[in-house]
Structure 1
Amino acid sequence: MQEEKISNYVKLCMEWADKFMQMDRQDLLRRVPELKEEKGYLTIEHFGRKYGISEKDGSICSLDGDQEPDTTEMLNIYTLLGYAKEGSFFMDRWVPFADLRNARPFAPAYKIGETDVFSATFSGHAKELREAFIKLGGKGLPQGDVGYEIKAFQCIPLRFFFWDRDEEFEAEGNILFDYSATDFNHVESAVSIADVGIKRLAEIAGLPLRGKNFHMH
């Protein structure tokens, strides 16, 4: 099943690469102003890593010598290019995933796959989490034992809050999105954006992902 799922994601990435090749460049650069034109690529940063979308065939590769993007990262970039609405803007209205437009149906799976994994992975590891945020250029926030704002994309900042476990309570985590997130990307992509963020933090912290339904693409 896992193999089949991966090949479907690969197929989807190829379809998006074709769609990208049909997109009007000026329109795209207007809708996603953070894109830059550099040596045959349109470049973009996703959680601090720089990727290039090839002007030749629409494929996505890493441009900072880091590991190549996985299908989740590629689809986050492609859907941003496909769904960003012109004139979208940051609202400074922070909400949990379930309160984003049209997010309710995905909320139960999101909790198991994302916030529960975030909480379980960093339980007892507040120090490593804080260091990972600092490495990603995060901006410290006063709430939580650890609270930071980091950018998934320039136009999609996320706020992560973490309360470590103690004698009485399990660790608890939450991720807030600006309400504009669904103007820039598909609501389901908010789930996979959180997914990439948690994986990146765990990778920097050198911790294995934990949680009931933890999945790798």
Structure 2
Amino acid sequence: MDTNYRIAYNKGWRDLKSKTPAEIAASMDVEYVSSKQWFIVPFLNENYIVDCGSETIGKEPDGSVPPIGAAILILHYLSYFQSKEEIANKWVSLKEIPNGGILFYPAFHKEAIGGLIKAFGQQPELLLKCAASLGGKPAAFGDVSATFQVFPKIPLCIVIWEGDEEIPANATILFDPSIQHFLHIESIIGLGCQAADKLVQLALKQ
């Protein structure tokens, strides 16, 4: 495990254990099984068991361990919040999210949005096929778009505009502005990158 990831992963467990399970479950809409010290966390259409006793995370039903980046996002989702907030039911780009969104946007565009343009810009209808594997549902933005319930309180929308000989393809990733209360900016970026990467990998298999 890379040192920076290890530091973030270990801190995630410490932060998680600094809060009470009941507070986490109520604030972040997840189930806590007190007899087993488990949180059950839906993440991109799959359930993950966060075992606070053994400090392990495994996917249902086979217990497979998620990639370290995904594991950190799950821990941050459970531990970052400071108060109970509700979804705003609006959409904004990363540039509109406080505490660094506009600063990090160029790198985010290169890493996440660029991949979406390459994968779906000339075949936008493929987005819906790939999105369905992650629980995505069609939306009404751009030429093709899909919304995802990434975590119980974190929706995300991916929009594709088809390119042609005159106009280049384009894409964007939209967030509910409430996300600033649920994840810090680095994790918001990581979440967008994870969703984009999963969709690109699914497109490559088509």
Give TM-score, length-normalised by structure 1. 0.84
| Correspondent of 2:82 among 77, 81, 85 | 85
Change (3 A) 1:29 1:136: same
> Aligned equivalents of 1:36 and 1:167: distance in 2?
53
The DSSP-based 3-state class of the residue aligned with 1:42 is strand
In the TM superposition, residue 23 of structure 1 has moved relative to its aligned partner by 2.8
State the one-letter code of the partner of 1:49.
Answer: E
- CA root-mean-square deviation: 2.2
How far does the alpha carbon of each residue in 1:13-67 deviate from its partner, in whole angstroms, 9 at most, with x for none?
1332243334321222222122342854211011112111112132212123385
Structure 1, unpaired ranges of 5+: 209-217
Q: 2:4 aligns with which of 3, 8, 22?
A: 8
Q: Which letter maps to 1:10?
A: R
Match of 1:63 in 2: 60
Q: Does 1:30 align with 2:61?
A: no
Q: What CA distance in whole angstroms lies between the structure 1 residues aligned with 2:165 and 2:128?
A: 21
Q: Per the alignment, do residues 81 and 147 of structure 1 end up closer, same or farther by CA in structure 2, a change over 3 Å counting?
A: same
Contact kept, 8 Å, 1:91 with 1:179, in 2: the verdict is yes
| Aligned counterpart, 1:183 | 181
Deviating 4+ runs (over 4 angstroms): none
Identity %: 22
SS in structure 1 opposite 2:158?
A: strand
Give the gaps of 5 or more residues in structure 2: none
Give 1:148's match in structure 2, choosing from 136, 146, 149: 146
Q: Give aligned pairs, total.
A: 204
CA distance in 1, matches of 2:174, 2:203: 21
Report what 1:211 is aligned to. Answer: none
Change (3 A) 1:53 1:67: closer
- 1:212 corresponding residue in structure 2: none
Indicate yes or no: 2:122 matched with 1:124.
yes
**Residue matched to 1:201:** 199
Q: Is 2:128–2:136's contact at 8 Å kept on the other side of the alignment?
A: no
Matched residue, 1:43: 40
The 8 Å contact of residues 21 and 32 in structure 2, kept in 1 or not, is answered as no
